Amino acid sequence: MNKSNVRLELERGCGFEQQRRFKLAHDSYLIAAKAGSIEAQVNLANLYDEGKGCKRDITAAIHWYKRAVKSGSAEAAYNLGVHYQRRGVARWAGHWFKRAAELGDGDAKKELRRLIKRSK
C-alpha cells in the first residue's frame, strides 16, 4: 500500500470515528496501522484501550502504542504512561512519561515531575 492510500485509509478512519462508527474506524485504522501509519497506530490503540468498535483489549492497545513509540510517537508514550499511572504502576508510568518527555511532550514532563514529587 502506498503512502497516499495509507493516508486515505487513516482519514477514512478519522471520519468514521467522528461519526461514532467505531467498528468501521477500527477497521480502517487497522489497515493503515499495519501499513505503518503512526497516527493510525495511536488511534487504533485508543480504540482498543476504550473498547470502542472492538472488544476492550489492553494487550492490543499496549502493542499498538509501543509500535507507535518505536516510530517516534510522543503521544503513544504519554498514553502508555497514563495507562500505567491509572493502574498504580509508578515505575512503568515514569518510564513511559520519561520517554514521552524525551520525544518532546510537555504534558509528560509535568506528569514525570509529579511522579517524582510523590515518590519523595
DSSP secondary structure string for all residues of 39-62: HHHHHHHHHHHHTSSS---HHHHH
Domain 1-71: assigned CATH number:
1.25.40
- Does pLDDT of 1 surpass 90? no
Give the pLDDT confidence score for residue 120 in this predicted structure. 67
Q: How confident is the model at residue 115 (pLDDT cuts 50, 70, 90)?
A: confident
Instruction: Read off the pLDDT of residues 14-56 as tens digits, 9 standing for 90 and up.
Output: 999 999 999 999 999 999 999 999 999 999 999 999 999 999 9
- What fold, for 72-120? 1.25.40
The span from the CA of 33 to the CA of 27, in Å, is: 10
Give the pLDDT confidence score for residue 30 in this predicted structure. 98
pTM for this prediction: 0.92
Where are the chain's structural domains?
1-71, 72-120
Q: Do 72-120 and 1-71 fall under one CATH topology? A: yes
Q: What is the 3-state secondary structure (H, E, C) of 4-24?
A: HHHHHHHHHHHHHHHCCCHHH
Give the pLDDT confidence score for residue 105 in this predicted structure. 94
